[in-house]
Amino acid sequence: MDLLRFATAGSVDDGKSTLIGRLLLDSKAIFEDQLEAVEATSRTKGYDYTDLALLTDGLRSEREQGITIDVAYRYFATPRRKFIIADTPGHVQYTRNMVTGASTADLGLVLVDARQGLTEQSRRHAVILSLLRVPHLVLAVNKMDLVDYDEGVFEAIRSEFAAFTQRLNVPDLAVIPISALQGDNVVTRSEHMPWYEGSSLLHHLENVHIASDRDLRDVRFPVQYVVRPKSDEHHDYRGYAGQVASGVMRPGDEVMVLPSGLTSRIAGIDLYDREVEAAFPPMSVVVRLEDDLDVSRGDMICRVRNAPQQSQDVDAMVCWMTREPLRPRQKLAIKHTTRSARAMVKDVQYRLDINTLHRDGDTQELGLNEIGRVRLRTTQQLLTDPYEHNRVTGSFILIDEATGSTVGAGIVN
Amino acid sequence: MPTHSDYRLSQLDELEAESIHIFREVVAEFEKPVLMFSGGKDSIVMLRLAEKAFYPARIPFPVLQVDTGYDFPEVLACRDSWVDRLGVRLVVASVEQAIADGVVVDDGRTSRNRLQIGTLLAAIEEGGFTAAFGGGRRDEEKARAKERVYSHRDEFGQWDPKNQRPELWSLYNGRLHEGEHMRIFPLSNWTELDIWHYIAREDVEIPSIYFSHRRRVFERDGMLLTESGFNPLREGETAAERTVRFRTVGDLTLTGCVESTAGTFQEIVDEISVARLTERGATRGDDRFSEAAMEDRKKEGYF
């Protein structure tokens, strides 16, 4: 059984909570006491239906205000796959939460109400998912029961969305007509829509091919920690622990350590008490080298003729996540793979309007929840790849040095 | 085990890799980490992952247990066996001692579970620990569903759920001010079933009370509690011997058991697969007092 992480976006009005509630219920991931608590609360509030949104609104302040304020993680499994849902709210702190949820997702699920058609919000969802290089996108056209399961309504939304996403980087798009409330095309194929020949949503989630999303060619191994037992039994052991970002490493491979540029061969790869014949993403392993090099946290192991960029100048799209705007000359802490440094904002080249994709070059600031292209100068060289090629070596976070808060998320151009 | 033919990891291997990454990240970036060990299945999985993360070196941080005075003897025995095998340092923070020292106040109404909070925070402060690993999982409870892997605690040990740091990719922000600490949840993405599959696969020692056994129990508030001197029977309650096992491990005055004949890992996995109640709702008195019981305790500094 493998693992699929997906991000959902949409508001309560689109029926997102109902859909998630149904997926959890039908896969038996919701327990009776959870359902009873939600039913009781729904009655107290005077609703004549069970408000499945209460399952996902975890914090008291959210229940009091009737809004979701944060990314919530949900879990369910079928015999084929385990799923992790990053459920992001539709309104408040929208961009920040959506970027957070999308950062780890293999698939993005966007919901629209069949009666409303595409909205500004659904276009924004698609833009953010494509910026974050989520490789698979699903548009679920919900509430088909309220438009009499009409093929024409679905087809109009489908073709409009397909045309819109042509301007984005969406390698794989599926559009599925559903009714989350009635269960049409959620778990099983609906009898109400014989004109639809695709699979149900759950079937699609179970079968979408994610194995080839990984880069198995370009070896990138950020060194996290040096394992040196210094015990009698393992007196000379020295290994470099980390999680493989991309590529396949094998004992005997010739490798280069950056930033020093020194080369050696892999003597062995350890996974706890046994040696493995290959390490690939996302394995956490310990790599031993044949030569005694000076390697420490923040360094990167790669192949000799296949190295990342090494530079103190970083050109990136930044999503800004705090009230105080990002400005030129501002100094921040930056964390990139296992390397931490300081960074100064050189300039803001443009701000991206995520509704129209228009680039506004007349600005020198990025406000809360805005995304723009920014140039940074760092105190140390960073070892980067373009985010579109590598989501691990192409991403970083920006930290306010005074408050310690995470204030920005960056993807390397 | 990883299958090398297609370079795919099973979901359990992927979870393991993610958790090991978190352990190493914390040890690399924090001055003084500690692992909060309850003796329960989740904290045992944490110890197993920590063992793997640093092998062949020893686990480079101590283990902290809050002793409520009401712990199951089987759990303490299992704890000692793990600590001995791994050669890791054990720090015990006693609720009894905290009461005697005036760190927390036992007013006779507050549960030991709640008194653990003050005891734990005092132990973290006294030890100067800057990062404390906890076994919390997001599938356990809805307040936990929104908690970060790195969960910031202010100088009073409090959690501010409305002001959490965004957490992206696997880039964790460990920045702290003086007196603050971080709670780290390496099992965030594991479910109860994942934990059992992993324990079965790794074949590691867990407290015997997780397996079916005969025990004298009585019913209170719809839960089966163990008969013990700490837990005097109230009027109308009668104890009887039944075949039971525990789904969670905590303060024995509050932790209920379920009637079960599951005596092996596989039988437990089968039982959980068809369970219709959450482990906490079914067997934890501490979480049943209000819909926000966990959220309130977490804000104060609970595990």
Question: What confidence score (pLDDT) does residue B105 get?
Answer: 82
Distance from CA of A159 to the nearest CA of B (A): 32
Instruction: Based on the fold, state whether residues B179 and B224 are members of the same structural domain.
Output: no
| DSSP code for B58 | P
The H or E element spanning position A119 is: none
Domain range for A75 is 2-213
- Rounded Cα–Cα distance for residues A274 and A220 (Å): 22
Distance from CA of B225 to the nearest CA of A (A): 19
- Evaluated on CA atoms B298, B21, B35, A408, the torsion sign reads negative
Instruction: Based on the fold, state whether residues B131 and B58 are members of the same structural domain.
Output: yes
Q: Residue B143 — pLDDT band, cuts 50, 70, 90?
A: confident
- Rounded Cα–Cα distance for residues A399 and A406 (Å): 4
Give a yes or no: residue B6 inside a domain: no
The DSSP secondary structure of B217-242, one letter per residue, reads EEEETTEEEE--TTSPPPTT---EEE
Instruction: Based on the fold, state whether residues A298 and A313 are members of the same structural domain.
Output: no
Cβ–Cβ below 8 Å for A225 and B24: yes
User: Is the distance from CB of B130 to CB of B176 less than 8 angstroms?
Assistant: yes
Q: Residue A230 — pLDDT band, cuts 50, 70, 90?
A: confident
Instruction: Based on the fold, state whether residues B56 and B119 are members of the same structural domain.
Output: yes
The H or E element spanning position B53 is: helix B41-54
| DSSP code for B2 | -
Task: Give the 3-state secondary structure of A169-214.
Answer: CCCEEEEEECECCCCECCCECCCCCCCCCCCCHHHHHHHCCCHHHC
Give a yes or no: residue B257 inside a domain: yes
Cβ–Cβ below 8 Å for B143 and A41: no
Cβ–Cβ below 8 Å for A284 and B173: no
Query: In DSSP terms, which residues pair with A175 in a beta bridge?
Result: A139
Question: What confidence score (pLDDT) does residue A49 get?
Answer: 66
Distance from CA of B173 to the nearest CA of A (A): 7
Instruction: Based on the fold, state whether residues A276 and A165 are members of the same structural domain.
Output: no
Report chain B residues whose CB lies below 8 A from the CB of A397.
168-169, 171, 173
Whether the predicted pLDDT of B130 surpasses 90: yes
Whether the predicted pLDDT of B92 surpasses 60: yes
Higher-confidence residue of B244 and B68: namely B244
Give a yes or no: residue B163 inside a domain: yes
For chain B, the domain total comes to 2
Distance from CA of B101 to the nearest CA of A (A): 34
pLDDT, tens digit, 9 for 90 and up, residues A131-156: 999 999 999 999 999 999 999 999 99
Instruction: Based on the fold, state whether residues B212 and B161 are members of the same structural domain.
Output: no
Mean pLDDT, all residues of chain B: 88
| DSSP code for A306 | B
pLDDT, tens digit, 9 for 90 and up, residues B2-15: 444 689 999 999 99
For chain A, the domain total comes to 3
Instruction: Based on the fold, state whether residues A313 and A356 are members of the same structural domain.
Output: yes
Instruction: Based on the fold, state whether residues A344 and A280 are members of the same structural domain.
Output: no
- Rounded Cα–Cα distance for residues B145 and B141 (Å): 6
Instruction: Based on the fold, state whether residues B242 and B281 are members of the same structural domain.
Output: yes
Query: In DSSP terms, which residues pair with A274 in a beta bridge?
Result: A271
Picking from A68-72, A289-293, A386-390, B208-212, which range would have the lowest pLDDT averaged per residue?
Answer: A68-72
What's the maximum distance between 2 C-alpha atoms anywhere in chain B? 64
Instruction: Based on the fold, state whether residues A30 and A169 are members of the same structural domain.
Output: yes
- Scanning B281-300 for CB atoms below 8 A from A yields 281-282, 291-292, 295
Question: What confidence score (pLDDT) does residue B3 get?
Answer: 47
Question: What confidence score (pLDDT) does residue A202 get?
Answer: 95
From A158, A182, A213, the end of a domain falls on: A213
Picking from A188-197, B98-107, B204-213, B234-243, which range would have the lowest pLDDT averaged per residue?
Answer: B98-107
Mutating which of B8, B149, B171 best tests the A interface, going by the most A Cβ atoms within 10 A? B171
Instruction: Based on the fold, state whether residues A326 and A392 are members of the same structural domain.
Output: yes
Collapsing DSSP to helix, strand or coil, A144 comes out as: helix
Closest residue in B to A61 (Cα–Cα): B162
Cβ–Cβ below 8 Å for A335 and B139: no
- Scanning A3-32 for CB atoms below 8 A from B yields 3, 31-32
Cβ–Cβ below 8 Å for B142 and A333: no
Give a yes or no: residue B248 inside a domain: yes
Q: Residue A313 — pLDDT band, cuts 50, 70, 90?
A: very high
Question: What confidence score (pLDDT) does residue A53 get?
Answer: 63
- Rounded Cα–Cα distance for residues A392 and A213 (Å): 13
Whether the predicted pLDDT of A255 surpasses 60: yes
Closest residue in A to B173 (Cα–Cα): A406
CATH number for the domain including A336?
2.40.30.10
Mutating which of B168, B181, B221, B297 best tests the A interface, going by the most A Cβ atoms within 10 A? B168
φ/ψ of A269, rounded to 5, equals -125, 120
Report chain B residues whose CB lies below 8 A from the CB of A399.
173, 175
Question: What confidence score (pLDDT) does residue A26 get?
Answer: 76
Report chain B residues whose CB lies below 8 A from the CB of A284.
16-18, 20-21, 24, 53
Picking from A50-64, A317-331, A368-382, B96-110, which range would have the lowest pLDDT averaged per residue?
Answer: A50-64
User: Is the distance from CB of A371 to CB of A350 less than 8 angstroms?
Assistant: no
Report chain A residues whose CB lies below 8 A from the CB of B27.
225
Instruction: Based on the fold, state whether residues B223 and B153 are members of the same structural domain.
Output: no
Q: Residue A91 — pLDDT band, cuts 50, 70, 90?
A: low
- Within 10 angstroms of residue B32's Cβ, the number of other Cβ atoms is 14
Cβ–Cβ below 8 Å for B143 and A58: yes
Whether the predicted pLDDT of B289 surpasses 60: no
Interface check for A103 against chain B (CB to CB < 8 A): the answer is yes
Give a yes or no: residue B202 inside a domain: no
Question: What confidence score (pLDDT) does residue A71 get?
Answer: 84
Instruction: Based on the fold, state whether residues A187 and A70 are members of the same structural domain.
Output: yes
Query: In DSSP terms, which residues pair with A142 in a beta bridge?
Result: A113
Instruction: Based on the fold, state whether residues B214 and B184 are members of the same structural domain.
Output: no
Instruction: Based on the fold, state whether residues A74 and A174 are members of the same structural domain.
Output: yes
Question: What confidence score (pLDDT) does residue B45 get?
Answer: 97
Instruction: Based on the fold, state whether residues A276 and A319 are members of the same structural domain.
Output: no
Interface check for B14 against chain A (CB to CB < 8 A): the answer is yes
Give a yes or no: residue B277 inside a domain: yes
Question: What confidence score (pLDDT) does residue B137 get?
Answer: 94
Interface check for A328 against chain B (CB to CB < 8 A): the answer is no
* Cα radius of gyration rounded to whole Å, chain A: 24
| DSSP code for B5 | T
Distance from CA of A293 to the nearest CA of B (A): 19
Instruction: Based on the fold, state whether residues B101 and B148 are members of the same structural domain.
Output: yes
- Within 10 angstroms of residue B234's Cβ, the number of other Cβ atoms is 8
Instruction: Based on the fold, state whether residues B158 and B257 are members of the same structural domain.
Output: no
Token match 């979870």: residue?
Answer: B15
pLDDT, tens digit, 9 for 90 and up, residues B168-221: 999 999 999 999 999 999 999 999 889 999 999 999 999 999 999 999 999 988
Distance from CA of A144 to the nearest CA of B (A): 30
Instruction: Based on the fold, state whether residues A71 and A175 are members of the same structural domain.
Output: yes
Give a yes or no: residue B215 inside a domain: yes
CATH number for the domain including B28?
3.40.50.620
Q: Residue B296 — pLDDT band, cuts 50, 70, 90?
A: low
Instruction: Based on the fold, state whether residues A226 and A208 are members of the same structural domain.
Output: no
Report chain A residues whose CB lies below 8 A from the CB of B166.
96-97, 99-100, 321, 406, 409
From A182, A213, A244, the end of a domain falls on: A213
HSE-up (13 A, CA, CB side) for residue A81: 17
Nearest to B168 among A37, A82, A100 (CB): A100
Report chain B residues whose CB lies below 8 A from the CB of A323.
none
From A303, A334, A352, the end of a domain falls on: A303
Report chain B residues whose CB lies below 8 A from the CB of A282.
9, 14, 17-18
Interface check for A304 against chain B (CB to CB < 8 A): the answer is no
Cβ–Cβ below 8 Å for B189 and A73: yes
User: Is the distance from CB of A78 to CB of A27 less than 8 angstroms?
Assistant: yes
Domain range for B99 is 11-193+292-300
Instruction: Based on the fold, state whether residues B111 and B170 are members of the same structural domain.
Output: yes
Instruction: Based on the fold, state whether residues B179 and B59 are members of the same structural domain.
Output: yes
Tokens of A69: 């304020």
Distance from CA of B102 to the nearest CA of A (A): 32
Cβ–Cβ below 8 Å for A34 and B275: no
Give a yes or no: residue B112 inside a domain: yes
Q: What is the dihedral of CA A260, A262, A265, A268, to 10 degrees?
A: -30
Cβ–Cβ below 8 Å for A234 and B58: no
- Rounded Cα–Cα distance for residues B156 and B299 (Å): 10
Calculate what percentage of chain A has a pLDDT beyond 70. Answer: 92
Nearest to B166 among A3, A56, A96 (CB): A96
The H or E element spanning position A238 is: none
Question: What confidence score (pLDDT) does residue B293 get?
Answer: 62
User: Is the distance from CB of A128 to CB of A99 less than 8 angstroms?
Assistant: yes
- Rounded Cα–Cα distance for residues B146 and B149 (Å): 10
- Rounded Cα–Cα distance for residues B232 and B211 (Å): 25
Helices A120-131 and A151-165 sit at what angle, rounded to 10 degrees?
Answer: 40
> What value, to the nearest 5°, has the Cα angle with vertex A297 and ends A296 and A302?
80
User: Is the distance from CB of B233 to CB of B226 less than 8 angstroms?
Assistant: no
Whether the predicted pLDDT of B31 surpasses 80: yes
Instruction: Based on the fold, state whether residues A61 and A189 are members of the same structural domain.
Output: yes
Cβ–Cβ below 8 Å for B7 and A272: no
Instruction: Based on the fold, state whether residues B166 and B232 are members of the same structural domain.
Output: no
